[in-house]
Structure 1
Amino acid sequence: MNKALFLDRDGVVNIEINYLYKIEDFKFVDGIFELCKKYQNQGYLIFIVTNQSGIARGYYTQEAFDILSSWMVEEFAKHGITIQKVYFCPHHPEISGACSCRKPNAGMLFDAQKEFNVDLENSILVGDKESDIEASLVAGIKNSYLFDEHHIYVKSKATKIVSKLEEI
């Protein structure tokens, strides 16, 4: 079985911008390439797991999301990092109804488990919202990190709250 490093996109991989879908607005978070390289060198597969309700809301299309995702994966590759897959939830509960993929549900994590033979228990998730951490708990991931560079969270169900990616 494979260990995985699961990363939320907005707020972990890139600086949070509401409903980001344009390449020119995308800025990587400091330390993301180093974090990924560290875990890739330890044999972890790397996945992005991201809620993208902007698709359901009509703010951007899935095609625009796919273009940005392809570009992002290529940027990682330029740094010698393989992103196995970008899992995303295009739904919004008030528009699309309930789904199993939108975090705090763990559908995207379970999909990766099935598709890539991932050992969820020994994997890691890094998120910037408590809903990310809740998804990791539902999936049985033992190690989760809440990336909180702005010191918003005092408490979390995460294994650890970190203010820099280097702390993971």
Structure 2
Amino acid sequence: MDDRDRPLRAILFDRDDTLVVDVPYNGDPDRVSPMPTAADALRLVRARGLRTGVVSNQSGIARGILSADDVRRVNARVDEVLGPFDVWRFCPHGPDDGCACRKPRPGLVLSAADALGFAPAQLAVIGDIGADMGAAAAAGARAVLVPTARTLPDEIAAAPRVAPDLAAAVALLLGEPVPEGRAAS
């Protein structure tokens, strides 16, 4: 069986502006607020028996704005509000550091796939910017873009699949009907 034909086993989510409202360089767990439809989307994923994970660039660490412990505390709050997630991976590097983990490179997705025990082709990534789509493609995973105000038009045009919100993105990946009024492409 070709890896692309393998059944979906897990969905990896970007954190900021995908699962939770983006608070730039957030180090305060009290500022965590779920994105609309996030709880419903995750209920559906878990009801279908799929594993979940989060893959997130956190350049605030490299910039000296946040510590890794700050990021872990915020992630723990996301786990309390929307979790638990089976795997967490974050890149602490800056855009110019040349690491293998910073999206759009595949390192975070590959590391999460390894931790979950699945081939990357058995995973999907849902995110809000082109870097999320690039990381999924580079790793060999499926991807769905959920645009926000900061998503660039070129990123939307280049995305393999686009959904208006997280619940619609999950429905699209699972072959479920997309809720009325929330068309996906």
Tell me, yes or no, whether TM beats 0.5.
Answer: yes
Aligned-residue CA RMSD in angstroms? Answer: 1.9
Q: Report the CA distance between 1:119 and its aligned residue.
A: 3.0
Q: Which ranges of structure 2 fall in alignment gaps of 5 or more residues?
A: 1-5, 170-185
| Corresponding residue of 1:167 | 168
Task: Tell me the distance in 2 between the aligned counterparts of 1:74 and 1:140.
Answer: 30
| Corresponding residue of 1:156 | 157
TM-score, normalised with respect to structure 1: 0.87
Q: SS of the residue aligned with 1:28?
A: coil
Per-residue displacement from partner, 1:93-115 (whole Å, max 9, x unpaired)? 43xx2111000011111112222
The alpha-carbon distance between structure 1 residues 48 and 138, as it changes in their structure 2 partners (threshold 3 A), is same
| Higher share of residues assigned strand | 1
The alpha-carbon distance between structure 1 residues 21 and 137, as it changes in their structure 2 partners (threshold 3 A), is same
Task: Tell me the distance in 2 between the aligned counterparts of 1:33 and 1:122.
Answer: 22
TM-score, normalised with respect to structure 2: 0.80
1:26 partnered with 2:32: yes
| Corresponding residue of 2:91 | 89
Q: Report the CA distance between 1:166 and its aligned residue.
A: 2.4
Q: SS of the residue aligned with 1:55?
A: coil
Q: Report the CA distance between 1:61 and its aligned residue.
A: 0.9
CA contact (8 A) 2:10 2:124 kept: yes
Residue type at the aligned position of 1:125:
V
| Corresponding residue of 1:61 | 67
CA contact (8 A) 2:147 2:164 kept: yes
| Corresponding residue of 1:111 | 111
Task: Tell me the distance in 2 between the aligned counterparts of 1:13 and 1:165.
Answer: 8
After superposing on structure 2, the runs of 4+ consecutive aligned residues of structure 1 that deviate more than 6 Å are none
CA contact (8 A) 1:3 1:120 kept: no
Query: Number of paired residues?
Result: 161
| Larger RCO (CA within 8 A; separation ≥ 6) | 1
Q: Identity of aligned pairs, percent?
A: 23
| Corresponding residue of 1:136 | 136
